[in-house]
Structure 1
């Protein structure tokens, strides 16, 4: 388990982020068109996994907007924004905000992504949602960078993720 915070209060997660240098755990997430996406769908591309509790919170929305802006400049890199929001809510948000350069994926159906990546919140107000984190995966599926944001209300370190 790992420890993060929510407005200063301790939050416990289901495990630890994957270690740098190991193969990223596979996942099965739901896209906006309700298709299933796995890590295999992105083979040969660099991935930035922007993971957060809900797109309906200000910090989560800001992270999606920021990565949307920066992702347009990246070669062979996809930014996957992952939460437990329903795909319909994710799609509505992207449509209203003009988000086109990131891919929204939902963990609502199978729900194992948070456990597999050690990010499912086990206590407090955001119980069962994902903690805010970044995981960067290279073209070969190897984890290159991770960040569990110290307080869920804070934004991730965008530059560290982009430089990884």
Structure 2
């Protein structure tokens, strides 16, 4: 269980992120067109999993914008923005912002992504939402970077995540 803070108050997650060097756990998430997506849909691509509580918060929105900007320069890399928001909310946000270099996915149906990756909040105001994390996966399906952001209101370390792809 990871210990992070929300506004300086301790909160906990259901486990710990996959370790660097480990195989990336499979997932089943819902795309904005309501289709199902799994890890196998991205075989052969590097992945940046930008994981956050809700697109309707300033920090989460900022992370989508920042990774969208970076995604336009990344070769063989898909940036997946993952939350428990409804796919409609993600589509609305990205459409209004003109963000088309990222792919939005939702864990709203069964919540197994959060459980498998150990990042569901188990207490606090954001209980049951996903913790702010970045997981970078190489084309072979191995985790090459994982960051659990220690204060939910803080942005992730974009530079460290993107440098892992070099």
Question: TM bucket by the smaller chain?
Answer: over 0.9
CA distance in 2, matches of 1:113, 1:69: 25
Q: Distance in 2 between matches of 1:35 and 1:140?
A: 24
Alignment of 1:58-69 (within 5 A): 58-69=58-69
Specify every segment of 5 or more residues in structure 2 that has no aligned partner in the other structure, as ranges: none
Over aligned residues, Cα RMSD in angstroms?
0.4
Aligned residues: 164
Instruction: Show the counterpart of 1:132.
Output: 132
Partner of 1:77: 77
Aligned counterparts of 2:11 and 2:71: Cα–Cα separation in 1 = 30
CA deviation after TM superposition for structure 1 residue 110, in Å: 1.8
Is 1:16 aligned to residue 13 of structure 2? no
Write the distance in 2 (CA, Å) between the matches of 1:96 and 1:73: 22
Structure 1 residue runs without a partner (length 5+):
none
Instruction: Determine the structure 2 residue equivalent to 1:26.
Output: 26
Whole-angstrom distance in 1 between the partners of 2:12 and 2:34: 30
1:68-126 alpha-carbon deviations (Å, 9 max, x no partner): 01100000001000000000000000111101000000000121100100100000000
- Residue aligning to 2:144: 144
Rounded Cα–Cα distance in structure 2 between residues aligned with 1:110 and 1:13? 17
Secondary structure of the 1:60 match is helix
